């Protein structure tokens, strides 16, 4: 069967990033279960459409598991900042709101409720929210049509996404994971939104996840403001090196493996913090095991008592991490640094940030 673009249904798809076979991103087996060969047998590839530019998950043979993570402080703070910017721009008009949520949790509804908005119970809403939700939709064309239909004629659709330009510029290849069906550039989003009769009117950038963008979108044909044009120019420069993303994978995996082996050779007790989906493929491909990485701490109770997929590395609680008195702690998500540093002062001076160029001290 011929594969078609998830966004525009054209067939001009070319491979962009291929990780081979890796573990499912959301499947964390019980700690004491043996590691099966089939555990790391799920193909993971990103394709790009030559017609609309959408970067997308090629296939997904995994079964979506119940989300086990918790919403980090950085995400909550960014959401509050985003709502303040939209309010200041005069775009929070009306009284009703609809939210297309992310399976990873988190909501902006209380933030909108503080400004007098009530959740819509039927028909189009004055404000429609989508924070990292739409990327989880296999049928992107249908997903954009649904969000357009949910937005009132004079309403605003707010879409936040992890920027493909940031992924490329920072070598964030492990943002590719099962269950995430699309990776967006602003230029592609303008095309896909235009196909459902909507226009991007303004945009804001945030440091979250190395680079996220929030779009304000309205029905009809509207000229974009200077902020949109600036982001388009910046992303065009970053995306010009998109072909180099594949090379980053091998370098990152080798650098992490070398660092773990060097730490083991000098008898350092190495742990990690953050059993995040983006750490799944990385640790598996780097061949992590208990002899190199004693455990991965995570604040989500649903992950504790389990292990990292494709490895025998156990997932432990933050309290267990402190009690283990590690020599170094590899932080798999740099956005968590401020939160975990404040919450775990006993580990001051031991944090090492995972980076495609190799782990680095903080």
Which phi and psi (to 5°) does residue 222 adopt?
Answer: -125, 140
pLDDT at 173: 97
- Over range 12-39, report the average pLDDT: 94
Half-sphere exposure of 76 (CA within 13 A, CB side): 9
Per-residue confidence (pLDDT) for residue 67, from 0 to 100? 60
What's the predicted TM-score (pTM) here?
A: 0.93
Instruction: Report residue 84: phi and psi, to 5°.
Output: -60, -40
Helix, strand, or coil (residue 344): coil
User: Given this model, what pLDDT does residue 359 score?
Assistant: 94
More confident site: 2 or 232:
232
User: Strand order in 198-206's β-sheet?
Assistant: 118-119, 96-99, 125-131, 151-162, 212-219, 198-206
For residues 91-110, average pLDDT: 93
The per-residue pLDDT for 8 is 97
Mean pLDDT rounded to a whole number for the chain: 95
Secondary structure (3-state) at 30: strand
Six token digits for residue 219: 């029905």
Q: What are the start-end ranges of the E strands in the chain?
A: 13-22, 42-49, 55-57, 96-99, 118-119, 125-131, 151-162, 182-183, 198-206, 212-219, 270-273, 296-297, 315-316, 328-331, 351-353, 360-361
- Residue 106 has a pLDDT of 87
- Residue 38 to residues 22, 108, 238, 309, 310: CA-CA distances in angstroms? 9, 39, 36, 11, 9
In this predicted structure, the answer to whether residue 22 has a pLDDT above a threshold of 90 is yes
Instruction: Please check whether residue 284 is in contact with residue 309, taking contact to mean a CB–CB distance below 8 angstroms.
Output: yes
- Can you tell me the mean pLDDT for 325-350? 96
* 50 CB-side CA count, 13 A: 5
Distance CA 102, CA 106 (A): 7
Phi then psi for residue 263, to 5 deg, are -65, -40
Residue whose entry in the numeric block shows the structure tokens 């420069």: 237
């Amino acid at each position: 069967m011929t594969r078609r673009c998830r966004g525009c249904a054209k067939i001009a798809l070319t491979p962009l990033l291929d990780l081979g076979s890796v573990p499912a991103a959301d499947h964390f087996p019980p700690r004491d279960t043996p590691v099966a060969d089939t555990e790391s047998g799920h193909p993971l590839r990103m394709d790009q459409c030559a017609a609309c530019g959408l970067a997308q998950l090629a296939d997904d043979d995994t079964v979506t598991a119940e989300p086990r993570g918790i919403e980090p402080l950085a995400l909550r703070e960014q959401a509050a900042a985003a709502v303040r910017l939209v309010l200041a721009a005069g775009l929070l008009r009306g009284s009703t709101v609809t939210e297309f949520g992310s399976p990873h949790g988190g909501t902006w509804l209380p933030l909108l409720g503080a400004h007098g908005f009530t959740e819509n119970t039927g028909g189009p809403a004055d404000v429609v929210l989508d924070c990292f939700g739409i990327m989880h939709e296999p049928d992107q064309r249908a997903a954009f049509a649904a969000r357009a239909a949910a937005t009132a004629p004079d309403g605003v659709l707010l879409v936040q996404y992890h920027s493909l330009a940031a992924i490329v510029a920072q070598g964030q290849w492990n943002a590719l994971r099962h269950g995430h069906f699309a990776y967006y550039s602003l230029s592609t989003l303008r095309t896909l939104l235009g196909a459902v009769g909507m226009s991007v009117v303004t945009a804001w950038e945030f440091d979250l996840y190395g680079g996220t963008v929030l779009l304000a979108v309205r029905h009809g044909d509207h000229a974009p403001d200077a902020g949109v044009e600036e982001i388009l120019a910046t992303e065009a420069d970053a995306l010009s090196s998109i072909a180099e993303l594949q090379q980053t994978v091998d370098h990152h995996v080798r650098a992490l493996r070398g660092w773990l082996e060097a730490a083991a050779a000098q008898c350092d007790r190495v742990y990690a913090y953050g059993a995040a989906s983006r750490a799944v493929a990385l640790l598996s491909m780097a061949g992590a095991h208990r002899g190199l990485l004693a455990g991965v701490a995570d604040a989500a109770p649903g992950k504790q008592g389990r292990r990292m997929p494709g490895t025998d590395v156990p997932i432990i609680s933050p309290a267990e991490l402190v009690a283990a008195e590690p020599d170094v702690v590899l932080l798999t998500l740099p956005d968590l640094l401020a939160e975990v540093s404040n919450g775990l002062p006993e580990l001051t001076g031991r944090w090492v940030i995972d980076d495609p160029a190799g782990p680095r001290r903080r």
